[in-house]
Amino acid sequence: MGSSRRKYVLLNEGDHPRKGSGRLAIVIGVLVLINMYVFLWRDGTSVNDVRRRAMAASNKNNKTHDKGTKLAADGRWKSNRPERAAKDAANWITGKVKRGDGLGRILAREGFKKDARNSLLKALNSHMDFKAIRVGQRYRLRWANGQLLGFEFHFSKLKKLVVKRGKSGKLVAETIKAETEIKIHKIGGTVVNSLASAIKAQGEDAALLPRFVDVFAYDLNFYVDIHKGDTFRLIVEKEFLDGKFLRYGRVLAAEYVHKNGTARAFYWRAEGAKRGGYFSEDGKSVTRTLLKTPLKYARVSSRFNPRRMHPVLHKVRAHMGVDYAAPKGTPVWAAADGKIAFRGRRRGGGNVVILRHPGGLHTLYMHLSKFRKGQRIGQKVRSKTVIGYVGSTGLATGPHLHFSVKQNGRYVDPMRLKMRRGPAVPKKHREAFDADITERVTKLATVKVAGNAD
């Protein structure tokens, strides 16, 4: 068998190419031009277009998959995690305080290095309590060229702390309070189903109810003594921020008409006094020795009875108080101004708080599920201050508050205790009081009550 062989000829300098070499050169040139068009000028395949798509893909990958941090243009280390604060249109980075956050932790999360953190904390030190920040409070900060230009911490809708760089370049902090507008409103209504629904029927917020109830807390039990057909009138302050309703202020005058009579109260403060109070038209204080009830309860499950059969021990045992059945966690209030004399565990009483009041009076609150945080033995508390929460600790068959009262060392029936009034308007202020209250009595009478002919 024969075999074929191919000859490869190397053209040396000076040799002339054979026929067809010119055609090859033309083909190569055309290919070069096509490649230049594709990689340099054609949309979508040019080098610049390919580079842009690659950068976009990289950025997308960073946003969705990067588990670490990257170096931002201003030199700060910046995280891509979704819980990071957002950047708004004015280049402000905004965020909210999360559970477990301290201010130092927030600043570290937002990219502050140690020196920058210390500098800002120093500026803030005399303007805020770092331990008092709460979950949900907002903050804002702005950077430029690696330098902090501004920092804001919003304590509330009305108060914020602003930090800027002064002329010397040092950080300067300032507390700013927003200006609000107070308007006086008249509200009247008739109870059909509940006082809460009657207030809402007048277009008012549910936040008005506890303010109204507080005014008559010594005279009426709003959780038991409310009946269909009862009427109410009140004059109340409303606070507005930028034209929008913010919150209720003081109830200046209030009236509640029920089947057993009429209760009225008027707020008044003497000139130069730090605090005001609620009084009847004739200047008597509406406050009493104790609140009508120290909590919002479902029913009285057991009354004061020296010879009651104990539901757990099944034997006769004196019940020296009143049991109020209520859901676990219901807030329990101090029945009067006083001082915490005891706060802890006490045998069958479970978690117990004892308050000492003026005039040899003590009030006891038993079976609490837990105590109010931040309070301690020896601390003064005002009437209606939350001191604990309903539970069933100790010897209890279900969640309820056992409320007892001691007068000069002896237990007395809280529901039969003769209540003493608070101080009346002093004689030296009576003329000024009469002038102010006469005007409010007249205004209160003009409040229209839904369902009435007037």
Strands 159-165 and 147-154: antiparallel
Closest by CA to 208, choosing from 178, 262, 245, 242, is: 245
Residues 6+ apart with CB under 8 A from 161: 124, 127, 128, 152, 153, 155, 173, 174, 175, 176
* Domains of the chain in sequence order: 76-177 (3.10.450.350), 180-287+421-454 (3.10.450.350), 299-412 (2.70.70.10)
Place of tokens 């040092």: 170
Identity (one letter) of the amino acid at 294? P
Please, what sign has the CA dihedral across residues 411, 414, 417, 422? Answer: positive
The pTM of the full predicted model, rounded to 2 decimals, is 0.63
Contact 204, 213 (CB under 8 A): no
d(C-alpha 124, C-alpha 102), whole Å: 13
Q: Kind and range of the H or E element at 262?
A: strand 261-268
- The structure tokens listed for 385 are 């201050």
List, in sequence order, the alpha helices (H) in 315-417.
none
List the structure tokens of 81. Answer: 């995690």
Provide the phi-psi class of 335: left if phi over 0, else alpha when psi is between -120 and 50, else beta.
Answer: alpha
Name the pairing type of β-strands 147-154 and 138-144.
antiparallel
Question: In tens digits, what is the pLDDT along the chain, a chain of 454 residues?
Answer: 444 444 433 333 344 445 556 676 776 776 766 666 655 566 556 656 656 665 555 554 444 433 444 434 433 444 444 344 555 445 778 888 888 888 888 888 877 778 777 888 888 888 888 878 888 989 888 876 667 778 888 888 888 888 888 777 788 888 889 899 999 999 999 999 888 899 999 999 989 988 898 898 888 877 677 889 999 999 999 999 989 999 999 999 999 999 888 999 999 999 888 889 999 999 999 988 888 888 877 678 787 666 555 555 555 567 788 999 889 999 999 999 999 999 999 988 999 999 999 889 999 999 999 999 999 999 999 998 999 999 999 988 899 999 999 999 999 988 888 788 888 999 999 999 999 999 999 999 999 997 544 4
Strands 338-346, 231-241: pairing kind? unpaired
Contact of 268 with 277, CB cutoff 8 Å: yes
| Partners of 345 in the β-ladder | 351
